[in-house]
Amino acid sequence: MTKKDPLEIIREISQKISKLEIRGATKITIEALKALREFVKYAPKENFHELFKDAINMLLKSRPTEPAMQNGIKYVLYTYNNLAKKNASIDEIKEAIEITSMKYISMIKHAIEKIVEIGWKRIPDDGTIMTHCHSSTVVRILIEAKQRGKSFVVISSETRPMYQGRITSRELAKSGIKVYHIVDSAMRWAARHFKPDLALVGADAITSTGVIINKVGSRLLALTAKEFDIPLYVAATLLKLDPRTAFGEYTPIEMRDPSEVWPDAPENVIVLNPAFETVSPEYIDGIITEFGIIPPSEVLRAFKELYKEIWQISKEYRI
C-alpha cells in the first residue's frame, strides 16, 4: 500500500456503512474511528485541516441515526479543536486524533463487556426470549447466558427488507441455542403461541427522555410485549444517547432506498423504507447499560455521570 488517497479510505468506509455492508452501531463506530485513524496516517500535512473536516462530514452523513458513531467523532473533533486553537503542529494533532480514536473504541468495547456481564443474568433459565433484527450486544448476552449453562429458546424475526434477523438466528443456532425463526408480521402470533418470558432488543439511538430508536418493527414488538405484559429490555451502551435531543432536537430517522423493499415496484406505487422507529419509555422495563440496569428515564443522568466530557462537548458542539 504505497500511496493512498486518505479521503478514499473514508469514502470507502462511509459507503460500506451506508450500504449496510458494515452494520450494527458498535461495528460502525469502531470502523469509522479506525478509518479516521488510518486517514490521519495518510493525510498530507499541507491541506490537513480541510481534508479532516471533509472526512468528519463524510462519516457523519454515512448514516444519520447513529449517535454512537457521532459521539465518537465529536469526541475526536473536540481534541482536534483544542489543539488547533493552540496552534499545535499537524504531527501533534495527528497523534492526538489517533489516541482519542483508540480511546473511544476502547470505551465502547468496555461498555459492551459490562452490558454482557450484567445482561446474561436476566436471561431466565428454561425461558423463551423474543428479539428482533440483529444486535451484536443482544447476541453476545444470549450466547454468554448459554455458555454459563442457561437453557432457553429464542424467537427471532427475519427483519425485512435486509434480513438481519437471519444473522441473529444463524449466530445463535451456531452457539447451540434453539431458535424459532418467523416473518416479522408473525411476532404477535409467536407471543401468543410461545408466551415468551422476555423481549430483548438493542438500540440505535436513545433520547434524553428515554425514548429508544431501533430497527423498524421494534415498536410492534413493544406493542406485543405490552399486550401480554412480557418484560421488554433494551441492551445498549449509553454512548448511543443522542445529546442533541436534550436541547430540543429530534434524532432523524433514516429513510433507505425503496429498491431494498421492492426493486421493480410498478409506477404509482411509492415504496417507503424507513430504517428505524421509536419505542416510548412506557414500553421499556429496563435498559441494560454499562451503568447497570436502569429505567429509561435515567439515561441522560447516567450518560452525564459516565461520559462527562462527551456531554460537555455536546453542549458546545451542537450542530
In the numeric block, the cell 496552534 is attached to 87
Residues 283-302 that bind its own copies (CB under 8 A): 285-286, 288, 292-298, 300-301
Per the residue annotation, which of 5, 184, 204, 257 is the catalytic one?
204
Adjacent-strand bridge partners of 289: 292
Query: Is 285 a known active-site residue?
Result: no
- Under DSSP, is residue 17 helix (H, G, I), strand (E, B) or coil? helix
| Contact stretch for its own copies (CB under 8 A) within 39-47, 75-83, 88-96, 242-250 | 242-250
Q: Which is nearer to its own copies, 40 or 191 (CB)?
A: 191
Cα maximum dimension of the chain: 65
Q: How would DSSP label each residue in 58-71?
A: HHHHH-SS-HHHHH
The least CB distance from residue 93 to its own copies, in Å, is 32
Contact pattern for its own copies over residues 244 through 263, marking x by CB under 8 A: -xxxxxx--x-------xx-
The least CB distance from residue 26 to its own copies, in Å, is 20
Q: Using CB under 8 A, count the residues that bind its own copies.
A: 83
- Under DSSP, is residue 109 helix (H, G, I), strand (E, B) or coil? helix
Taking residue 23's Cβ as centre, other Cβ atoms within 10 Å add up to 17
| Contact stretch for its own copies (CB under 8 A) within 27-35, 57-65, 104-112, 269-277 | 269-277
Sort strands 232-235 and 198-201 into parallel, antiparallel or unpaired.
parallel
Q: Which is nearer to its own copies, 75 or 283 (CB)?
A: 283
Residue 183 touches its own copies, criterion: CB under 8 A: yes
Distance between CA atoms of residues 101 and 79, nearest Å: 10
Q: Is the peptide bond before 161 cis (omega within 30 degrees of 0)?
A: yes
Residue 190 touches its own copies, criterion: CB under 8 A: yes
Centroid of chain to Cα 51:
27
Query: Is 133 a known active-site residue?
Result: yes
The least CB distance from residue 165 to its own copies, in Å, is 9
- Hey, which residues are catalytic here? 133, 204
